[in-house]
Structure 1
Amino acid sequence: MDELIPGLPNDIAQECLIRVPYDGFPTVRSVCRHWKQELQSSQFHRLRKTAGLTRPVIALVQAEPALAPTAGPAKKYTACASPSYRLVLFEPVTCAWSCPPPIPGLLRGLPLFCHLAAVGRELVVVGGCDPETWAASDEVHIYDFEAGVWRRGARMPGPRRSFFACAASEELRAVFVAGGHDEEKNALRSAMAYDVATNAWAPLPDMAQERDECQGAFLRGAFHVVGGYPTEAQGRFSRSAEPFDVDSRRWGPVEEDKLEAGTCPRACVAGADGRLYMYRPGGDVAALSDDGSGVWRAVAEAPETARVAPLLVAWERGLMLMGLEKQGGGHVGYVGEV
């Protein structure tokens, strides 16, 4: 076997390589073929995790003022009223922020209202709306954290949809999509799954109900579609949910009264402990009991500076709450353990 580092046993060389932070992976891969193969091996990443060297990374969409040229001979730029959007990465352990490279070809930034889905060491950007025309997009883009590059995925089939439920399964390396509305504003019942490894979409059975502006969560082998509303009930959110069992490939019965109130469920997320978490309008973060009682129990009080337009993000052993103190204010983020 070729030496990873000349003069060192390979087990010692591996101990050196696993200590490279994730944002250094693209550089390490470019050194030589053996290092690239090492980083691509599952053993390498198991060693990093066993040694406690892996760190959670949160991907967020951030608005930044769009720049337009001013009149005159000098090339000066001023901020436009319409911002563009970019990806930012936050490491809750170190509180460090960074930016991945922009998606090639998207000169106006990320599509509006696009969905982000994490699948292992890859981030999938699904759908959204064109920043200039507001037309729904069916595009898929995948960012490989290991290689530090973007690639295009297969387009979403069927009618172009917006405001759909989206969630991912790391184990299955799949992204699930359901509901939303088509370009005629008709709420949808259809669903599909995207296999990241094969770059292929597969249709799923339709849901029992139309669900526009619904939220997706993947828990315990099932894709849950929470809330939303049918075409004739514009803006009147349902309290129900529908679970899709991946093994049986069937939707379970509609779960009535899944939510405490008929509100927009966008602040509802799947926790790593197998429970649903949600910000409640009263000002706290609650978890759905896993005893089958359907009771939501408060787990933390939300800071007053983050109670407007709140958003929750979950990862292993943690939750992040982001929100505003008032409309038009700056975003504030808080991190807590669960």
Structure 2
Amino acid sequence: MKDLIPGLTDDVARECLARDPFHAFPTLFSVCKLWQQELRDQTFHRFRKSTGIAQPVVVVVQTVPDIAESAKPRPVVYRLVIFEPATGVWSSLPPSPDLPFGLPLFCRLAAVGTELVVVGGWEPRNWATIDKVNVYDFLTGEWRRGSPLPHPLRSSFAGAAMHDSDKDCRAVYVAGGHDESKNALRSALAYDVASDPWKPLPDMARERDECSAVILRGKFLVLGEYPTEAQGMFSRSAEAFDATAGSWGRVEEAALEEALEGGVWAPVAKLPSEMRLALNVVTWEGKLMVMGLGRSGLLANILDIKATTTMTTPASASWRKVEVPPEYRGRFLGACCLVI
């Protein structure tokens, strides 16, 4: 068997490869099949994380800012940008060849290992609901087309990703939303990122439109409104899908509070004084990044949650301001985070 790097033991060679920054992975991946196998091996990525080499990468859906002076209004174009909290560097992801008119409006992002999954949304030209799925691989630096989202076409749905390398599980879950006739949906689906198929899940107990989702303790938790018998009235609740049991269970409000840090809701921090409106929030490894608007335009700040919870008052929380270059000051419309 060939060595990863001639003249070095594989342990030393792995140390060398692991210390390369994530944006060097496409170059490393193109060297040889042996390096491709190494980069695909979850042991390699667990090693990067255990040694603190792996870094968070925040991926943001953003409008392209119109910084050129022009009398004519330009069409709004949506794109993906990445922010590296460790270095403060902003950059753009290459556009998907399958999306020539920009990123779909209201698409859902899901971070699965070293891959980014973009699901559904509205066609930028005519706002028609689409079923496209596109996957960006940070190892190869390339896009691939995924299996389309099964019908009925849906908007405003909940989505979240499950990644368990020990169980070789890389799945994106989708639930609820509304169809093209604005009917709220109960149906749910799961997408296997590795093998590409979608499969139906059991229906939720309630239709849920304009809903959101998280993975909480290994379960797909969907939160949102559902219509009540009273006309025009809605109620809020949550349901959780247990993949092991293959079924949904209602999450009572009290049980939800108990699941979230011991059953007590408490203020953690006040938003920075200059932020008037919070638009998006993304978390990773004890950090919280809030993106929003202030009097001077777009703002972004990072909070160390672990440090903050040891303080006595929310007002004492220390936010770190993120410098956003002019070319990345388009409006934030969604975000997720990968640790690569």
TM-score range, shorter chain: 0.7 to 0.9
* Residue 300, structure 1, aligned to residue 253, structure 2: no
Match of 1:186 in 2: 183
1:319 corresponds in structure 2 to 288
Aligned-pair distance for 1:32? 2.4
Structure 2 partner of 1:220 = 217
Give the structure 1 partner of residue 16 of structure 2. Answer: 16
Instruction: Please state how far the C-alpha of 1:156 moved relative to its aligned partner.
Output: 1.0
* Number of the residue aligned with 1:310: 279
Matched, 1:331 2:298: yes
Query: For 1:301, what is the secondary structure of its paired residue?
Result: coil
Task: Report the equivalent of 1:155.
Answer: 148
TM-score, with length taken from structure 2: 0.81
**Cα distance, 1:7–1:65 mapped onto 2, change above 3 Å:** same
Q: Does 1:59 align with 2:59?
A: yes
2:159 equivalent in structure 1: 166
Q: 1:233 to 1:21 in 2, by over 3 A?
A: farther
**Secondary structure of the structure 1 residue equivalent to 2:290:** strand
Alpha carbons of 1:335 and 1:155: their partners in 2 closer, same or farther (altered >3 Å)?
same
**Mapped pair 1:199 → 2:187:** no
Q: Per the alignment, do residues 249 and 137 of structure 1 end up closer, same or farther by CA in structure 2, a change over 3 Å counting?
A: same
Give the AA of the match of 1:199. Answer: D
Q: Which has the higher contact order (CA 8 A, sep 6+)?
A: 2
Identity across matched positions, percent: 55
8 Å Cα contact 2:280-2:291 kept in structure 1: yes
Deviation at 1:213, TM superposition (A): 0.5
Distance 1:234 1:315, change over 3 A: farther
- SS in structure 1 of the partner of residue 82 of structure 2: strand
1:86 paired residue number = 79
- Could you tell me which of 80, 96, 108 is aligned with 1:103? 96
1:110-149 equivalences under 5 Å are 110-149=103-142
Deviations 1:286-328 (A, max 9, x none): x97432x3x42111111133341421111121111111125xx
Length-normalised TM-score, structure 1? 0.81
What secondary structure, in the 3-state scheme, does the structure 2 residue paired with 1:173 have? strand
Structure 2 match to 1:264? none
SS at match of 2:303: strand
RMSD: 2.7
Contact in 1 for aligned 2:228/2:235 (Cα 8 Å): no
Q: 1:320 to 1:236 in 2, by over 3 A?
A: farther
1:119-149, CA deviations, whole angstroms, 9 ceiling, x for partnerless residues? 1111100000001111111111111111111
Which of 221, 240, 249 does residue 243 from structure 1 map onto?
240
> CA offsets per residue over residues 154-184 of structure 1, 9 Å max, x none?
1111210000011111113111111111001
Structure 1: where are the runs of 5+ without partners?
A: 69-75, 260-275, 277-286
The worse-fitting range, judged by mean Cα deviation, of 224-233 and 188-197 is: 224-233
Q: Which amino acid aligns with 1:192?
A: L
Q: Which residue of 2 aligns with 1:290?
A: 261
Q: Which amino acid aligns with 1:137?
A: I
Amino acid at match of 1:88: V
Query: What per-residue deviation string (whole Å, max 9, x for no partner) do you get for residues 39-81 of structure 1?
Result: 222232232222221011111011115799xxxxxxx987634
Partners of 1:173 and 1:330 lie apart in 2 by 37
Q: 2:98·2:145 contact (CA, 8 Å) conserved in 1?
A: no
CA, structure 1 residues 104+303, in 2 after alignment: closer, same or farther (shift >3 Å)?
same
Structure 2: which 5+ runs fail to align?
306-340
* Number of residue pairs the alignment of both structures matches: 301
Change (3 A) 1:257 1:64: farther
SS of equivalent to 2:56: coil
Tell whether the 8 Å contact from 2:171 to 2:193 is kept in structure 1 after alignment: yes
Separation of aligned partners in 1, 2:231 and 2:124: 24
Greater displacement, 217-226 / 4-13 = 4-13
**Deviation digits for residues 190-225 of structure 1, max 9, x if unmatched?**
111111111111111111211110111111121111
CA contact (8 A) 1:175 1:195 kept: yes
Instruction: Provide the C-alpha distance between the structure 2 equivalents of 1:36 and 1:46, rounded to a whole number of angstroms.
Output: 16
1:255 matched to 2:252: yes
Take 2:72 and 2:24, find their aligned partners in 1: how far apart are those partners?
A: 33
